[in-house]
Amino acid sequence: MVNVILKSDSDKGLINRNIYGHFSEHLGRCIYEGLWVGEDSPIPNTEGIRNDVLAALQKLNIPVLRWPGGCFADEYHWKDGVGPKSERARMINTHWGGVEENNHFGTHEFMRLCELLGAEPYISGNLGSGTVQEMQEWVEYITFDGESPMANWRKQNGRDEPWKLKYFGVGNENWGCGGNMRPEYYADEYRRYATYVRNYSGNQIYKIACGPNDSNYEWMEVLMREAARFMDGISLHYYTIPTGVWEDKGNATGFGEAEWFTTLKKTLFMDELLIKHSEIMDKYDPEGRVGIIVDEWGTWYNVEPGTNPGFLYQQNTMRDAVLAAVNLNIFNQHNKRVHMANLAQIVNVLQSLVLTEGDKMLLTPTYHVFDMYQVHMDAQRLDLNYESPGYTFGEETIPQLSLSASRNKDGVIHATACNLSHTDELEVVVQLEAGQAASVSGQLLHNTDFGSFNTFEQPDLVKPVAWEGLVLENNTLRFVLPPASVGLVAVQG
C-alpha cells in the first residue's frame, strides 16, 4: 500500500496543453494512407484528409501538430509542395524507404489539417540543406498579409487570408541527419537563420532551436550560452529503445517479462534528462523563459515483420500505454520547463495513436492514454507527496507507482496513476487536503496480458472501462491498480 497526500488547493503552475502534442512526418504511411488519401480516394475524406482518422484525432483535442519532419524536414523544400498538384515536383524520400514523394501533401494541406483538428501548426524549417531565403520566404508565404511575391503566390494558390503560425523550428537534429554539425557551428547558424524568421502582420512566432539528443549535455550548454536570447524554446529528443542497441531494438510484440521491465526502466530516464537539462538552462535563463520542447519521444522497436524497414511500422501494446502514461506524468511534473511534447508519431509510424490498413482503422492503447489524460490540458498542477514502493525484477528496482494530479477551471481534481509492475496490484490511499470531496468516478486501462494489443480483427481488445471499486470517504480516496495498468480518477467537490 502507498499513502499519498494530495493538496487540493495547491498550485504548482499550469500544465501546458501542448505537452499533449503530436508529430507527423513524411515517413512510411504516416502522411500518405494515414492522414492523406487524396480527394479522389474511395476512402471517405474531407478535402483529401481521411474522415475516420480525422474524427478519432478530433476527439483528443490535439493541441499542436509538428510537420514535415524529422529528418525529412532538412531535405524538404517547401516550394515543391504548393500550387497545382499535377505540377508539383516529385522526389525520392532518401531517408525513409526510398519511395517516391509526390508532394501532394504540402503547406496548404497541412494547415487545413490543423484547422480541422483545431491544432496549432508547428513547422520544422530546413536549415540542413535549405537557405536562409527559403526559410524566410516560407514564413512570409504563410503569414504575410500584404503585397509581396510570396503573399501573392499564396493567393494565386487559393488562400487569400494568411494563416496564423505560432511555432517554428529552425532546423531538426542538426547534430545528426540535419547536417552532422558541431554545437558551436549550429548555434551560429541558428542565430543567422532565426533572424529571418520574422513576425509578419501581427503574427508572433515562438522560435524553437534544435536542442540535444538525449544526454548530450554539452550541446545544451553551448546552445544556451550562445543563443538563448534568440530562442523561445529548445528541443529535446529521447526514444525508449528496450535493448539499448540501435541495430536490434527489440520487438514490439511477443516480448517477455525482462523486456517489459527494461523498457520501463529506460523510459524513466526521461525524468533525469529533464532535471539535468533544466539545471543547465537555469544557468543562462534563471527566469525560465525558454521552454523545453520534447518534440520527439516514444518507443522505437524493430519494424513489424514483412514491412518496409524504412517505414518504421510497429504494433502498440499495453506496454506502450503504460510507458506513454509514465512519460506524460513526468512532463506534467516538469511543467515549469516543459512547454511542449510531441509523441512520435501520430499514425502508422513508431508509437502511433492510430493504425490504418486500406479503409480500416484502429485505435491503439496509446491513443486511449491520450484520451484519458487530456483532462490535464491547461489545468493547475497539484502538489503530491508520496513514496512509491519499489518494483524489483532480478537485481534492479524502479518505482512501482507513477502519479500526477491537476485541478481544472471548474474545480474538478483529476489524478492519473500507473502501476508499472507486471505482477503485483497496488493499493493506493489518497488523503485529499483542503476542500470537501463529494463524488468520484474513473476509467481504467488494463488487460491481464501485458503484451496485448488491438488488431483489425479485434480492434477493441485493449480499451478503457469504467473503474469500479473507487472508494471516497471523509476526503480519503482508495483504489487498487491492477498490474500493468493506467487509471484516471475524477473527484468532484
Q: Are residues 288 and 412 in the same domain?
A: no
Which of 359, 378, 397 is the last residue before a domain boundary? 378
Q: For residue 14, what is the enclosing H or E element?
A: none
Q: What is the pLDDT of residue 436?
A: 82
Are 321 and 457 within one domain?
no
d(CA 161, CA 163): 7
| pLDDT computed for residue 434 by the predictor | 77
The alpha-carbon radius of gyration of the chain (Å, integer) is: 22
Q: How far does CA 65 lie from the centroid of its chain?
A: 8
258 and 141 part of one domain: yes
- C-alpha torsion angle, residues 384, 389, 393, 398 (rounded to 10): 30
- Residue 1 inside a domain? The answer is no
In this structure, the answer to whether residues 141 and 91 fall within a common structural domain is: yes
455 found inside a domain: yes
Question: Based on the domain organization, do 372 and 449 belong to the same domain?
Answer: no
Q: Is residue 5 part of a domain?
A: no
Indicate if 80 and 214 belong to the same structural domain: yes
| Enclosing H/E stretch for 321 | helix 318-333
In a domain, 2, yes or no: no
Last residue of a domain, one of 344, 378, 412: 378
CA nearest 211: which of 297, 131, 97? 297
Q: What is the pLDDT of residue 102?
A: 96
CATH of residue 438's domain is 2.60.40.1180
Q: What domain count does the chain have?
A: 2
Neighbours of 473 (CB within 10 A): 9
The CA-atom distances, in angstroms, between 204 and each of 68, 168, 184, 337, 417 are 21, 10, 27, 20, 37
Domain boundary among 357, 378, 399: 378
User: Does residue 159 lie within any of the structural domains?
Assistant: yes
pLDDT of 435 reads 75
For residue 396, give the nearest of 296, 283, 258 by alpha carbon: 258
Question: In whole angstroms, how far apart are CA 393 and each of 272, 390, 424?
Answer: 21, 10, 12
373 and 344, same structural domain?
yes
Catalytic residue list contains 433? no
Query: Which listed residue (33, 101, 137, 296) is catalytic?
Result: 296
Is the same domain home to 359 and 412? no
* Mean pLDDT, each 10-residue run in order, the chain (493 residues): 93 96 98 97 98 98 98 96 96 88 97 98 98 98 97 98 98 97 98 98 97 98 98 98 95 97 98 98 98 98 95 97 98 98 98 98 98 98 96 97 97 97 97 87 96 97 96 94 98 89
Q: How does DSSP classify residue 31?
A: T
3 in any annotated domain:
no
* Confidence (pLDDT) at 208: 98
Same structural domain for residues 430 and 359? Answer: no
Residue 24 sits in the same domain as residue 60? yes
Residue 6 lies in a domain: no
Residue 4 in domain: no
Question: What CATH number is attached to the domain comprising 174?
Answer: 3.20.20.80
Residues 434 and 314 in one domain: no
396 is catalytic: no
Terminal CA-CA length for the chain: 25
Question: Is the domain of 428 the same as that of 320?
Answer: no
Looking at 25, 33, 173, 189, which residue is catalytic? Answer: 173
Question: DSSP 3-state helix, strand, coil percentages of the chain (rounded to 5)?
Answer: 30, 30, 45
Give the dihedral of Cα atoms 254, 259, 260, 266; nearest 10 deg: -140
Closest-CA residue to 290 (of 344, 343, 223): 223
Q: Which of 279, 305, 293, 258 is nearest to 168 (CA)?
A: 293
pLDDT of residue 84: 97
- Please return the burial class of 263, using the count of CB atoms within 10 Å of its CB with bins 0-12, 13-18 and 19+: buried
User: To which residue does cell 487530456 refer?
Assistant: 374
**Residue-range definition of the domain harbouring residue 316:** 14-378
